[in-house]
Structure 1
Amino acid sequence: MDIRFLQSLVAVVETGSIVAAARRERLTPAAVSQRIQALERTLGCPLLVRGAHTARPTEACLSLLPRARALVRDASLLVDDLDASGLSGDLRVGAISTVLTGLVPVVLGKLTECAPSLKLRLTPGTSEHLYDQMLAGQLDVAVLVEPPFALPKLLDATRISREPLVYLTRDAVAPADIIAHARETPFIRYDPSSWGGRIVAAYMEKAGLYADVRCDMDALETIAILVGKGIGSSLVPHWPGLVANGFNIVPVPHAHAHERSLSFLAPSVPQKPNAVRLLRDLLVGAAIG
């Protein structure tokens, strides 16, 4: 059984379609389909439920998926073991959207210089989802909002940045007038059920800010776009990459008590310690500026 075929199967399950898996594997969809069909013949059972544009794993596929992932991972580590520096192969990195657009572009160039043989496999997601993927062993590291609870001993966290709250609005508003202005205008709220949104919700409750909430959203870049189009105003953390595009960024008074902290999450005993350490240090440096 060819490990590359298992790798393609895992890619289809994780991306949800043969076309997306082919794009990730840098193959044609036909090549990926042939690999899956070869596996199905070898194992004697269907592995995917194929739709017009999607592919879902069968029960048989789900039952063998953990072992398939482990085999693919171990095969990658065999090659990496020959590299004394520990800076080659794939590193599976999960990151929230503002990190992908803000910090990752800064880090990638430096990482290429320091470790040209190391390839990042980037996975976007919410903090909660990325945390679950870390627990499941599907990621090597994750950069996310600091979890609002104690971590299990199998994970280590390094705080890489603090992001104070700012007020986004198209109007000219002084910091002292934020509360009054937010009460009188449509408000786009950072989803209070998300880890980052809880921080904004706590600030609003403490400040007695009862706004006319038009929608909740766990997508900070989209919130900024909506504010720029005049849909409403919003309170958000000041993430790297936030640029005033058709709106004003107003600092929130005493925001130090309500900051969004970003954490670099890794296993306590990582499989690629040198690569994990390098990426962490580069992210911390990029966050400091």
Structure 2
Amino acid sequence: MAELRFAQGINRALSECMQEDPTVFLFGEDIAQVGGPFGVTRGLLEKFGPDRIRDTPISEATMANAAVGAALSGLKPVLEIMFMDFMTLTMDALVNQAAKARFMFGGQTSVPMVVRTPHGGGISAGPQHSQCLEVWFAHIPGLKVVCPSNPADAYGLLKSAIRDPDPVVFVENKALYAMKGEIADDAQAIPLGKAKIVRTGKDVTLVTYGACVHKAMRAADTLAQEGIEIEILDLRSLQPWDEQAVLASLTLTHKLLIAHEAVEAFGVGAEIAARMADIGFDELDAPIVRVAAPFVPVPFAPALEAQYQPQEADIIAAVRKLCA
């Protein structure tokens, strides 16, 4: 086992995929000499050279369209968009081209590309550098969306994303880049679409992903002192998502809470709640509850940002409400 930071787990996955497949290459703003704004690609330029680790001009639309073209021509591009907020500039390439190519060409071609991008708050970056927009892409047929919560999952899921024949949006929470965790020397790729039970419990099912997993774990420790045991499912993949794992847990606990950092309205939690209200209605002993951000832009001020983001106290209050 090796203890690596979240960012280092991503770096290791990128390096190994490039070593095993010469068609994989990386490009994005400042990813080569600088190693990206969060240092994720640091050292890869020295290993693989400027032909495979490329800095680009500041034009997200151009980068995304270039990635689609490269993927259609037989390469496997891994594009880094510096902040998820700037994914707004990639929408035509991803939504109208990458996501539709397999369908429009009758299954004769695919677009094996990955777009890595950080989301989330916690660094007082304000409303244009802190948004969680993953649900936009989960809504598009033809795109896959992944959001790991720890270094080992970041490593294993990224390897699967790069090997996948279809476009994958790989979302990384900025608050997790420095997080440490163990990754086995012989760690394997993790299949997309499979959730993971990170804590077992009998009273409430809590479904979450990304940085919210750790807030959920801390909340669970507090609730356990009150005799309330919550089962926590880390989705890992948002599209496709593991509805059978959620349903199986709901069958045991009969209460469902969904938590995420993204805005609550029309979010990932809304889709899961609607689906479980359909296929899991007979298992529910209480209304489904969501904990998420309010319907306002992300504030700059640290104190306001902390109030904006869902916290352990919000999860604890929601669980108590469910168990009342």
Same fold flag (TM > 0.5): no
TM-score, structure 1 normalization: 0.28
TM-score, structure 2 normalization: 0.26
Higher helix share: 1
In our comparison, the structure showing a higher alpha carbon Rg is: 1
